[in-house]
């Protein structure tokens, strides 16, 4: 797997979906690649990083973040804390089991659906997917094209890849009918 693809898709999909991302929280034990991608924006974006440990997430301020990018293992407590730190227009991207693990994914998507208007899997470009959950912005309808097209130094992500990443085969659509919120 090319690490730059994973980093670009985990960062630029949410940052080019949110109207004005100012505060970003990255939860990862290996955040350097994510931080480097956030730094490619000309806008003033505050980027905080915490290690991928649940205990540290408990200490994060309520309603502070526009975007959360998380590599934590997802359970109800983790997702509740992510929701708590997101503001009213916030969105998050979380790792999840492969889409073939239907029961585990349905559980995660149903929990996220309690907090977000939109819950959609998307392709990270390396045969894996992430989940985007948004309280306000739709990742294909609200993409900020001029932001997506003006980021310098990208090797994979662009404004064509962004909406295409959300295309899923019919068997996925059927399996997750009523669970994916788009």
Q: What is the DSSP letter of 61?
A: P
pTM for this predicted structure: 0.95
pLDDT-based confidence at 54, cuts 50/70/90?
low
The CATH homologous superfamily for domain 3-175 is: Vaccinia Virus protein VP39 (3.40.50.150)
Biggest CA–CA distance in the chain, Å, is 41
Q: What H or E segment, with its residue span, contains residue 66?
A: strand 65-70
pLDDT band at 53 (very low <50, low <70, confident <90, very high): low
pLDDT digits (tens, 9 = 90+) for 108-135: 999 999 999 999 999 998 789 999 999 9
Encoding tokens for residue 3? 């690490």
Which pLDDT value is given to residue 58? Answer: 87
Q: Looking at residues 31-57, what average pLDDT do you find? A: 89
What letter does residue 74 receive in the DSSP assignment? P
The SS3 call for residue 152 is coil
In the block, residue with structure tokens 């404004």: 159
Q: What is the pLDDT of residue 1?
A: 54
Is there a contact between 94 and 130 (Cβ–Cβ < 8 Å)? Answer: yes
Select from 92, 111, 80, 90 the least CA-distant residue to 28.
92
């Amino acid at each position: 797997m090319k690490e730059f693809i994973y980093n670009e898709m985990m960062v630029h999909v949410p940052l080019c979906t949110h109207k004005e991302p100012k505060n970003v929280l990255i939860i990862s034990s290996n955040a350097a690649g994510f931080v480097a991608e956030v730094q490619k924006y000309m806008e003033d974006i505050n980027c905080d990083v915490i290690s991928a440990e649940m205990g540290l997430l408990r200490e994060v301020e309520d309603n502070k973040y526009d975007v959360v990018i998380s590599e934590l293992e997802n359970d109800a407590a983790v997702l509740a804390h992510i929701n708590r730190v997101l503001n009213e227009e916030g969105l998050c991207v979380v790792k999840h089991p492969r889409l073939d693990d239907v029961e585990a994914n349905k559980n995660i998507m149903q929990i996220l659906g309690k907090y977000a208007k939109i819950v959609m899997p998307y392709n990270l470009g390396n045969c894996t997917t992430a989940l985007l959950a948004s309280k306000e912005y739709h990742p294909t309808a609200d993409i900020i094209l001029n932001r997506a097209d003006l980021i310098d130094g990208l090797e994979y992500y662009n404004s064509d890849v962004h909406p295409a990443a959300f295309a899923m085969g019919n068997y996925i659509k059927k399996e997750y009918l009523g669970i994916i919120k788009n």
